[in-house]
Amino acid sequence: MSLDTTVGTREQVRIFVTGSCDGLEQLREALERHGEVELVGSSAGVMESAPTLTGGHLQVVLHGTRSSSLPADEIASIREHTRAPIILLASGEASALLEEALDADVSDVLLLPQMTENVVFAVRKASKTGHRPLASPGRRGRVVTVFSPKGGTGKTVTSTNLASAFAKFEGRKTLLLDLDLQFGDAAIMLGLEPDKTIYDLVVAPGELDSEKLAGYTTRHASGLDILPAPLRPEDAELVTETKLSRLLEVARESYDVIVVDTSPFFHGPMLATLDRTDELLLVCGLDVPTLKNVRLALQTLELLAFPTNRIRLVLNRANTKVGMKRSEVEGALDAKVRFEIPSDRAVPISVNRGTPAVLAESGADYSKAVREMAKGLLPVEAAKAQKRRLFKRG
């Protein structure tokens, strides 16, 4: 296809239409035909829309309401699934709604009927604000997701050591979240046997908040907190995308860094995690089967519209002599390797002992590489900390 066909074309804004009000159906049909927006789904009820709202990097929600005042409960229901900006659509008299929306978690209010172009303009304006963060007095944690589309690449070893490095050497309040929900091993690799898991948290009654989350995590000697995977594979299905989305938002209010260990699949929990991921570490090895799977993963991420500037390619066991070089990996994947982690006999020994190598063998080449990776993933924070230290000295 010629590149000329895309010149001057705006990138489509991904929207979801929900709720009900006079004129909403006609507007939805008009938006479906409009070239500047992509209608990823619609629903008359908020709760029915959970699978779509939690994934795909949704940019704006259009919510129709028949209420003459702010529909706080409806907005709260939407917020259980997404942090995307909300535009309220109403019909008739809505003066109270307009006034209350000024102080609410709403990007705009439009009264129907309305010209389609006016609605598209409002959608574009709202999309530029991005996902609205939850109110937090002083903390907005970063989500670092560790993923590999093939088992045996060292994904969980990387997750546990990286999280330990954040907590022990970078002084960050860190949570390790094991989302390999059926067969997670993060707790074992830390030498822990926790009484509570993510399953116990999501089935517990009551609303999830920071205090409740703290009651279900287990503290490691490094200062790291862990929320392990369920003990039984059949319990994994109860960790829904909706509950996981809420968990990640609450964790961001409580921690500086949330390291997420994942399964090798693009299933619902993974999509919900991607939607809130700041840094995606894609772990790769020096073998053809892994390269094939990583290449497919990169293509899938592109289809999901995951931002490429958030992807960090990690070459594990980079010094292994297997007839393949870093340059060949980069050529095969058409991507640059961001971090190299060497093979080191300290790693299997530490796994069997249940102590991360970055703690047990801090002088090992592997440990040094992981600590450098931890620093490299927090460049802004590190610079701020350095400025504070210099200021104190002065």
Is the pLDDT assigned to residue 136 strictly greater than 50?
A: no
Residue with the bigger pLDDT between 384 and 345: it is 345
| Domains parsed from the chain with CATH numbers | 11-127 (3.40.50.2300), 142-393 (3.40.50.300)
Cα Dmax for the chain: 73
Structure confidence at residue 78 (pLDDT): 84
Q: What is the model's pLDDT at position 197?
A: 94
Q: What is the mean pLDDT of the chain?
A: 84
Predicted TM-score of the model (pTM): 0.64
What is the CA 128 to chain-centroid distance, rounded? 19
pLDDT of residue 130: 55
Give the least confident one: 15-19, 54-58, 363-367: 54-58
pLDDT at residue number 134: 40
Between 199 and 83, name the one with better pLDDT. 199
CB-based contacts of 116, cutoff 8 Å, min separation 6: 27, 30, 31, 34
pLDDT in tens, 44-89: 765 454 444 544 467 899 999 988 888 888 888 887 777 788 999 9
The CA distance from 35 to 40, in Å, is: 13
Q: Is the model's pLDDT at 312 over the cut of 50?
A: yes
3-state secondary structure of 313: strand
In degrees, to the nearest 5, what angle opens at C-alpha 70 toward C-alphas 69 and 74?
Answer: 125
Of 131-145, 190-204, 285-299, 329-343, the least confident: 131-145
Say yes or no to pLDDT of 137 above 70.
no
For residues 147-159, give the mean pLDDT: 91
Inter-axis angle of helices 365-376 and 155-168, to 10 degrees?
Answer: 70
